[in-house]
Amino acid sequence: MKPSKLKPAQRVISWVLQLVIITILGYASYLKLSDHAAEIDLFSKLGMEPAGRFIIGFIEAAACVLLLLPNAAVHGAILTFGVMLGALIGHSTKIGFVGMTPLAALLLIIISTVVIYLRRKQIPSIARMLN
Amino acid sequence: MSASVDLHKISKFANLAIPSLAGLFFLGGHFVSFYFHFLTVVFLILTIVNLFYMFVQKKHAILRNFGILGQARYILESVGPEMRQYLFASDTEERPFSRVERSDIYRKSKGVDSASSFGSQLNFDNSEIKVRHSMYPSDKEDIVQFSLTFGEERGIEQTFTIRKPYMVSAMSYGALGVNAVKALSRGAKMAGIAMNTGEGGIPKYHMEEGGDLIFQMGTAKFGVRNEDGTLNDEKLKKLAAEPSIKMIEVKLSQGAKPGKGGLLPKEKISKEISELRGVPMNRDVVSPAHHKECVCKKSTVAFIKHVQDVSELPVGIKLCVGLTSEFRQLVEEMMLQDVFPDYIAIDGAEGGTGAAPKAFMDGYGMPLMPALYSVNNILTELGVRDRTKIIAAGKLINSSQQFMALALGADAIYSARGFMLALGCIQSMLCGSNTCPVGITTHDPDLQRGLVVEDKAKRIVNYVNGLEHDFYEMLAASGIRDAKDINIDQLYIPNDTALADQIEYLLEKHQSSLIS
Ligand SMILES: Cc1cc2nc3c(=O)[nH]c(=O)nc-3n(C[C@H](O)[C@H](O)[C@H](O)COP(=O)(O)O)c2cc1C
C-alpha cells in the first residue's frame, strides 16, 4: 500500500522536526553506546547497567535511521515517543530532574508527537481505515 | 441471536485491562526491575491511543464504541480482500451486497474518487444486464435537469416535485435508532431529496430536521390508527397538514416479507413508541398482513381514494408484486373507479428489512427487474401509464442498477440500504438484534454514541451527489437529453436473466391471447 502524501508545507515542517530529533537522539545514542561515564552512572541508578544501556542505545539509533526514511519516519517518531516516555518515567521515579537530559526528553516527546500527528495517515492501521 | 462473540463486552473488558496493565507494569518497573517499564510504555501508549479513539475522534463509529479493539476490524477488513481472494470467496460473492458494490458506496459517501483500474470484476457472460451507450453521446449542457411532479395527473393543489431521481425508502424509527434517523433526515434535507418515514408512527425526529417527508402508513397504520386498526381520518388530516409531510404512502406489502404482517412485542413498546405509534403499552401489537380496509381490489382502490381525499396530498402505494394477473386486475379496477394512486412503488423481493422470517426474506415475491418490467408493461398496455408514476426499490444502490430500473419504466428510485451503507453500515446483518455495531439499527445509547449525526449527514450528501453525477454522465453516454426518454432499448439483456424470462413469458401470453 502506498503511504499517503503530505502537503508541501507539512512535509517541510515534518522534515525539520525529524532532523532535530535525529540530532538530539543520535547524540544520546552515541553517548550510551560509547560507554560515556554519565550514562553509565545513569543506568546504574536504574539497575540496567550495562545491558539496558545498550538496548536503549540501539533503539535510539534505530529510531534515527527510521526517521531518515520517508516511508518509515512515522515509526521512528513513535519509537522516539516511547523511549522518551520511558526516560521520563526513569527521571521521575529513580533519577530525579537534574541537568539537561529530562528537558531533552520532554522536548523530544513534544516534537515526536507533532511528527506523528503530521504523518498520522502513514500509520498502517490508520491508513487502512481510510480506504 | 446467534452465539457470536460479543465484541461490546470484550472491548469493555479490554478498555479496562489496558490502563490497568499499564499501572501494574509501572509498579513492576518501580519495585522489581526497571525493565518492566518497556511494557509500561507500550501500555501507556495503547491507553492514550484508546482514549483518543473513544473520546476525541468522531469519524469512525466502531472506534468510538469499541476503542482499540475495534481497530482489529479495520485491520482484518483490510486483509479481507486478499484472504478472500486467495482462500475464500471473491470480492463479488458476498450477499446481499458484495464488497465491490459496498466499497463503491463507501467511496462515494466519503467523497473519494471512484475510478477503478485494470478492469471490471463483474461478469460479462449471459448473467448480467448492461447499459447500452450511444455512438453519439449528448453534450452535458444540453441535458434537461431531472424533475418529477407527483400529483400532477390529478391536478391537485399540493403537488410534490423532486429534482433528483432518488428518495430514501421506508425505514421506521424503531428499525432505526434516533441518531440514524436524525443523520438520515438531516442528510436527505441537505442533499435535497425526500425521505420516507417508514411505518413507525408520528415521525417526530424526522420532522425536527425539517426536510421533505413521505409518511408511510403501514398495515397497522401506526400514528393514524383507531384502537381497532382502522384509519383515523382526523389523525391523518392533522399529520398531512404538517409542513414537512409532502406525500402519503399506503404500504400494501414489502419485498422482504410480502403477504406478511409483523408483531411488535410489548417489551419493545416504550412510552415514546407507544405515543408515536398510538398503541397501548401493555399488549403485543400485531401488524396485520393487509389493511383492514383492503380485502379485495374494489375496497383497496376505494381506500386509496379515501386517503387521497382526507390527506389532500399525493398518495402512493407500495407493494411487492406476487401475481402479475392480480396486479393487472387491480389496475383495471382503478380504471373502472377512475382512481389512480399518485405513484406505485414496486419493491423487489430482494428488498431488506429490520426483521422478517427467513422463509419470506428468501423465498417470496417477484424480484425487482421482472416485476418492474411487468408493471410498466401492464400499465402501458392498458393505456394508463400516464396516470401514475412508478418508483422502484430493491438493491438499487449503485448508479448502473438505478439506470437499469429507470430504463425498465421507473420514474424514480427508492433505496433504503444504499443510504444505510452511506451512513457507515458494514453489513453485519444484525438489524433485528439491537446490537448493530455501527449504531444504526440499535437503540443502545452506548452503540449509538459512535454514530455522529453531523458527520454522517454529510456522507448522505456526498453519496447523493456522487449518484447524481453518475446519473447525468450516464444520460450523456446514452445520448439522451431528458431522463424521461430512458427506455428498455438502452439495455442489453442476455437470455439467461430473470428479466429476459419475464419478457418472453409476457410475450407468449400476449400472443396466445391474440390467437384465442
Ligand atoms: C432496516 C430496514 C427497515 C425497513 N423498514 C421498512 C418499513 O418500515 N416499511 C417499508 O415499507 N419498508 C421497510 N424497509 C424496506 C425498504 O424500504 C426497501 O423497500 C427495501 O429495503 C428495498 O430497498 P434497498 O434494497 O435499497 O434496501 C426497511 C428496510 C430496512 C433495511
Q: Confidence band (pLDDT; 50, 70, 90) for B118?
A: confident
Burial of B113 (0-12, 13-18, 19+ CB in 10 A): exposed
Q: How far apart are the first and last CA of chain A?
A: 10
Q: Give the least confident one: B2-6, B37-41, B98-102, B454-458.
A: B2-6
Q: Which residues, including other chains, have CB under 8 Å from residue A44's CB and lie 6 or more apart?
A: none
* Beta carbons of A125 and B30 less than 8 Å apart: no
The dihedral over CA atoms of B468, B471, B476, B481, expressed in degrees to the nearest 10, equals -90
By CA distance, what is A120's nearest residue in B? B49
By CA distance, what is B77's nearest residue in A? A128
**What is the phi/psi pair of residue B162, to 5°?**
-110, 150
Cis peptide before B96 (omega within 30 of 0): yes
Give chain A positions within 8 Å (CB) of B30: 93
Distance B417 CA to ligand 1 centre (A): 7
Q: Give the least confident one: A22-31, B227-236, B268-277, B478-487.
A: B268-277
Tell which atom from ligand 1 comes closest to the C-alpha of B396: 26
By CA distance, what is B73's nearest residue in A? A129
- Burial code (b: 16+ CB inside 10 Å, e: under 16) for B115-131 equals eeeeeeeeeeeeeebeb
The three grid cell numbers given for residue A13, joined into one nine-digit string: 515542517
Residue (of B416, B419, B411) closest to B393 by Cα position: B416
Cite the DSSP H helix spans in B437-486.
445-448, 453-477
B185 lines ligand 1 (CB under 6 A): no
Measured distance CA(A128)–CA(B75) in Å, rounded: 7
Tell which atom from ligand 1 comes closest to the C-alpha of B417: 27
Chains A, B: CB contacts under 8 A, how many?
42
Q: How many residues does chain B have?
A: 516
Å between B82 CA and nearest CA of chain A: 13
Residue B266 has pLDDT above 90, yes or no: no
In single-letter form, the type of residue at position B192 comes to G
pTM across the whole model: 0.82
Å between B476 CA and nearest CA of chain A: 30
Cis peptide before A50 (omega within 30 of 0): yes
Q: Per residue in A65-87, pLDDT tens?
A: 999 998 899 999 999 999 999 99
Helices B399-407 & B453-477 angle (0-180, nearest 10): 50
* Beta carbons of B74 and A129 less than 8 Å apart: yes
What does the pLDDT read at residue B435?
A: 86
Measured distance CA(B455)–CA(B451) in Å, rounded: 8
Closest to A48 (Cβ–Cβ): which among B26, B34, B42? B34
The three grid cell numbers given for residue B107, joined into one nine-digit string: 467511496
Kindly state the helix (H) or strand (E) to which residue B506 belongs, with its residue range: helix B498-515
* Beta carbons of A89 and B35 less than 8 Å apart: no
Distance B355 CA to ligand 1 centre (A): 10
Q: Confidence band (pLDDT; 50, 70, 90) for B202?
A: very high
Give chain B positions within 8 Å (CB) of A82: 41-42, 45
pLDDT mean over B84-102: 78
ipTM field: 0.91
The 10 Å Cβ neighbour count of residue B512 is 9
3-state secondary structure B388-420: CEEEEECCCCCHHHHHHHHHCCCCEEEECHHHH
The three grid cell numbers given for residue A71, joined into one nine-digit string: 516511508
Q: Are B209 and B187 in contact (CB under 8 A)?
A: no
Q: Confidence band (pLDDT; 50, 70, 90) for A130?
A: low
What does the pLDDT read at residue B434?
A: 84
Measured distance CA(B499)–CA(B471) in Å, rounded: 22
Q: Per residue in B286-328, pLDDT tens?
A: 889 999 999 999 999 999 999 999 999 999 999 999 999 999 9
CA neighbours within 13 Å on the CB side: how many for B349? Answer: 18
Give chain A positions within 8 Å (CB) of B44: 85
Helices B324-337 & B368-381 angle (0-180, nearest 10): 40
Kindly state the helix (H) or strand (E) to which residue B166 belongs, with its residue range: strand B166-168
Q: Give the least confident one: A103-117, B240-254, B351-365, B456-470.
A: B351-365
**Largest Cα–Cα distance in chain B?**
99
Q: Confidence band (pLDDT; 50, 70, 90) for B1?
A: very low
B365 lines ligand 1 (CB under 6 A): no
Domain layout of chain B by residue ranges? 8-88, 130-515
The three grid cell numbers given for residue B417, joined into one nine-digit string: 440500504
B347 lines ligand 1 (CB under 6 A): yes
By CA distance, what is B74's nearest residue in A? A129
Q: Give the least confident one: A2-16, B142-156, B362-376.
A: A2-16
Q: What is the mean pLDDT of chain A?
A: 90
Distance B367 CA to ligand 1 centre (A): 15
What does the pLDDT read at residue B88?
A: 65
Q: Which residues, including other chains, have CB under 8 Å from residue A110's CB and lie 6 or more apart?
A: none
Q: Give the least confident one: A17-31, B397-411, B494-508.
A: B494-508
* Beta carbons of A128 and B37 less than 8 Å apart: no
Q: Are B311 and B118 in contact (CB under 8 A)?
A: no
Å between A121 CA and nearest CA of chain B: 14
Per cent of chain B over pLDDT 90 is: 72
E-only strand ranges, B66-145 = 130-131
Measured distance CA(B274)–CA(B262) in Å, rounded: 16
Residue (of B211, B110, B150, B100) closest to B465 by Cα position: B110
Q: What is the mean pLDDT of chain B?
A: 92
* Beta carbons of B77 and A94 less than 8 Å apart: no
Tell which atom from ligand 1 comes closest to the C-alpha of B249: 11
pLDDT mean over B81-100: 74
What does the pLDDT read at residue A101?
A: 87
Å between A109 CA and nearest CA of chain B: 12
Tell which atom from ligand 1 comes closest to the C-alpha of B397: 26
Give chain B positions within 8 Å (CB) of A89: 26, 29, 37, 40-41
Å between B107 CA and nearest CA of chain A: 8
The three grid cell numbers given for residue B195, joined into one nine-digit string: 425521505
Residue among B169, B247, B361, B399 whose CB has most ligand 1 atoms within 8 A, to mutate: B169
Q: Per residue in B142-175, pLDDT tens?
A: 999 999 999 999 999 999 999 999 999 999 998 8
Give chain B positions within 8 Å (CB) of A47: 33-34
Please state, in angstroms and as integers, the Cα–Cα distance from residue B237 to each residue in B64, B311, B434, B439, following that order: 43, 5, 33, 34
Measured distance CA(A39)–CA(A60) in Å, rounded: 14
Give chain B positions within 8 Å (CB) of A48: 34-35
Tell which atom from ligand 1 comes closest to the C-alpha of B345: 19
Distance B405 CA to ligand 1 centre (A): 17
For strands B262-264 and B285-287, give the pairing. antiparallel
Kindly state the helix (H) or strand (E) to which residue A118 belongs, with its residue range: helix A101-118
The 10 Å Cβ neighbour count of residue B356 is 20
Please state, in angstroms and as integers, the Cα–Cα distance from residue A7 to each residue in A4, A11, A110, B68, following that order: 10, 6, 21, 28
Q: Confidence band (pLDDT; 50, 70, 90) for B516?
A: low
CATH top class, domain B130-515: alpha beta
More confident residue, B402 or A71: B402
Q: How far is CA B54 from the centre of its chain?
A: 29
* Beta carbons of A86 and B26 less than 8 Å apart: no
Closest to A52 (Cβ–Cβ): which among B34, B45, B60? B34
Distance A131 CA to ligand 1 centre (A): 28
What does the pLDDT read at residue B82?
A: 63
Residue B84 has pLDDT above 70, yes or no: no
Q: Per residue in B420-442, pLDDT tens?
A: 999 999 998 888 888 899 999 99
Q: How far is CA B168 from the centre of its chain?
A: 6
Å between A52 CA and nearest CA of chain B: 8
More confident residue, B409 or A131: B409
The three grid cell numbers given for residue B353, joined into one nine-digit string: 428489512
Residue A1 has pLDDT above 50, yes or no: no
In single-letter form, the type of residue at position A89 comes to I
Q: How far is CA B161 from the centre of its chain?
A: 21
* Beta carbons of A128 and B33 less than 8 Å apart: no
DSSP state of B225: B
* Beta carbons of B75 and A125 less than 8 Å apart: yes
Which candidate in B27, B30, B34 is best for mutational testing of the A interface (most A CBs within 10 A)?
B34
Please state, in angstroms and as integers, the Cα–Cα distance from residue A86 to each residue in A79, A80, B440, following that order: 11, 10, 42
Please identify which residue in the block is written with the cell numbers 469499541.
B66
